Amino acid sequence: MSDARQRLLELSEEKRASLSSLSELIGRNPSYLQQFIRKGSPRKLEEQDRRKLAQFFGVDEGELGAPEDISYVITPNHSNKRGDWVDVPRLDVGASAGPGALPQAEGAFDALRFSRRWLSEQGLDGAQLSAITVEGDSMEPLLRDGDEILVDRAPRSFRDGVHVVRLGDSLMVKRIASTGAGRLALLSQNLAYPPVEVSAEEVEIIGRVVWKGGRI
């Protein structure tokens, strides 16, 4: 196993982040990094993938196989340095805040840059963040059509709150509450939309909504 592959495996174990969740973090299929580490395919990480992983772990890109002349070093005392910023991928997918929408391909087309210190102040150290767009009005006034939300996709124990979920072929953003006996309620903020109760097996919780942004 190459040094870069061994180091990535060590970092994932230290962070308690699964290889499948890290693959999703960089916009790849869930088995991508497993194949990289175990089978040597791809032979090396793409630059943008390597950079996102290095930023997530807070390490020099060189530890993940970058040539020395293009790697960066974390510099915590200088907020204008590259290592103090985290690029959160903007996914080409919308989460319906209405009756449900078919998701498009979940590839990253852009990124939002956040201060690493700000994320830490928000309690988001170790978060696996993606940015997606809200579609529809069922979560108004909390979330409006066109708002951009940060979704923490890190595996965590479930607790009630606003989540992005997949129900059948639909991707939705709803307030999720446990109703007991293995059932969940999908709640809208807009009272024009009635609650929907489903079994826990019917719904896949993609991640918890931890921040929103939008036009005034």
Can you give the CATH number for the domain in which 69 is found?
A: 1.10.260.40
Same domain, 89 and 191: yes
What's the domain count of the chain? 2
Rounded to two decimals, what is the model's pTM? Answer: 0.58
**pLDDT digit string, tens, across residues 64-123:** 887 754 433 333 333 333 458 888 888 876 665 554 443 444 567 788 889 988 998 988
Can you give the CATH number for the domain in which 112 is found?
A: 2.10.109.10
- Is cis: bond before 89, omega within 30 of 0? no
Same domain, 88 and 69: no
Q: Quick one: pLDDT at residue 147?
A: 94
Q: In which domain, by residue range, is 208 found?
A: 83-213
Mean pLDDT of 116-144: 90
Same domain, 96 and 60: no
Q: Quick one: pLDDT at residue 193?
A: 94
Same domain, 160 and 178: yes
**pLDDT digit string, tens, across residues 154-192:** 877 788 899 999 888 788 999 999 998 889 999 999 999
**Token digits of residue 115:** 């201060």
- The candidate with the shortest Cα–Cα distance to 55, out of 66, 43, 44, 39, is 66
Domain boundary among 19, 48, 74: 74
Q: Quick one: pLDDT at residue 68?
A: 54
